[in-house]
């Protein structure tokens, strides 16, 4: 997962955080639409016309209307099993806890969430291939209006705990990054007792709140008529407009492993990006993947390596 910026990170970090909080002042849907159109025009002027195919079909229309789009299984059972086997011995980080490292077998009994470091996520089998599938990029481009940038990638275990969970992501909330959608893919079977993702249909059309906040379940029921639970076997996926109200329910019966990929128009100002090496980087768009994959190292100069 990406690390969050801290005000202790220096002047550049503080300036980015100021920009992040400044954009949250814009709560009007109409003004946000106007700003997004201007942003797309600016990206076109800076990077050229958007040549990536966009999906104009019914999937984009459903996502615009409902805020979420159920998808077919994007990963096969064999692919999910291969990813789980590859991840099993690798360390997790209690990023939303005390920051301690542990493996799946040594997870503390009080751990409710564990994230893999970005280097593990990027190099996990099938992750970048899925993130860069032409149909996924076309869906993101069609919804956002321009070639997307991958601004977040994560692999997260949610473990059974008593109660409702402590993490913000386990309570109804919104993400306030402008011009973003997320692809959520289950890598384990998910039913009502193993941590389904909940989304509140059409809540992405609300006026954005000025402050980040949790939404109590009774309030969501009263104002929006409740939420939709996404359940299904490993490989099941859903795309969401993350401005809508959503949460990941804490598992009760067994742990859940979730792959998260976020597509955006611009880098998210709240994250500290540190792209990691990847041997197959030449297969993927440098523009789309520049925040996740480190660029090709420059070849050593002849002066640095003189011929004897």
- Domains in the chain, please, with CATH? 3-289 (2.60.120.620)
Torsion of CA 241, 3, 286, 18, to 10 degrees: 70
Pairing between strand 92-93 and 101-102?
A: antiparallel
Query: What's the pLDDT score for residue 303?
Result: 40
Query: What's the pLDDT score for residue 162?
Result: 67
Burial class of residue 163 (count of CB atoms within 10 Å of its CB; 0-12, 13-18, 19+): exposed
pTM for this entry: 0.90
Closest CA to 127 of 295, 287, 284, 286: 284
Query: What's the pLDDT score for residue 299?
Result: 61
Inter-residue contact 125 to 82 (CB < 8 Å): yes
Closest CA to 113 of 188, 33, 168, 35: 168
* Cα dihedral sign, 45-47-51-52: negative
List the pLDDT tens digit at each of the 308 positions of the chain.
778 777 778 888 788 777 777 777 777 778 888 888 888 889 888 888 765 667 778 999 999 999 999 998 999 999 999 999 999 999 999 877 678 899 999 988 888 899 999 999 999 999 999 999 999 999 999 999 999 999 999 999 999 976 555 566 789 998 877 789 999 999 999 999 999 999 999 999 998 887 778 899 999 999 999 999 999 999 999 999 999 999 999 999 999 999 999 999 999 988 899 999 999 999 999 999 999 999 876 565 544 443 33
């Amino acid at each position: 997962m990406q690390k969050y910026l801290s005000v202790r990170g220096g002047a550049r970090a503080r300036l980015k955080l100021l920009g992040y909080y400044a954009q949250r002042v814009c709560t009007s849907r109409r003004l946000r639409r106007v700003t997004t159109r201007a942003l797309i025009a600016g990206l076109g002027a800076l990077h050229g016309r958007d040549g990536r195919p966009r999906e104009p079909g019914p999937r984009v229309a459903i996502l615009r209307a409902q805020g979420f789009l159920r998808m077919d299984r994007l990963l096969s059972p064999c692919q999910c099993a291969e990813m789980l086997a590859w991840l099993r011995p690798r360390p997790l980080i209690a990023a939303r806890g005390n920051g301690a490292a542990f493996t799946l077998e040594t997870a503390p009994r009080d751990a409710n969430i564990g994230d893999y470091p970005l280097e593990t996520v990027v190099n996990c089998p099938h992750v970048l291939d899925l993130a860069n599938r032409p149909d996924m990029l076309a869906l993101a481009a069609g919804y956002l209006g321009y070639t997307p940038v991958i601004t977040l990638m994560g692999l997260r275990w949610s473990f059974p705990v008593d109660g409702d969970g402590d993490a913000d992501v386990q309570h109804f909330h919104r993400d306030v990054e402008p011009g973003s959608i997320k692809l959520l893919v289950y890598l384990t079977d998910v039913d009502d007792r193993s941590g389904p993702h909940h989304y509140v249909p059409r809540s992405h059309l609300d006026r954005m709140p000025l402050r980040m906040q949790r939404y109590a379940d009774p309030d969501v029921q009263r104002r929006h008529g409740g939420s939709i639970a996404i359940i299904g076997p490993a490989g099941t996926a859903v795309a969401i407009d993350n401005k809508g109200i959503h949460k990941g329910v804490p598992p009760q019966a067994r742990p859940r492993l979730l792959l998260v990929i976020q597509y955006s128009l611009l880098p998210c100002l709240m994250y500290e990006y540190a792209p990691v090496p990847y041997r197959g980087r030449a297969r993927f768009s440098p523009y789309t993947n520049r925040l996740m994959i480190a660029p090709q190292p420059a070849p050593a100069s002849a002066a640095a390596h003189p011929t004897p």
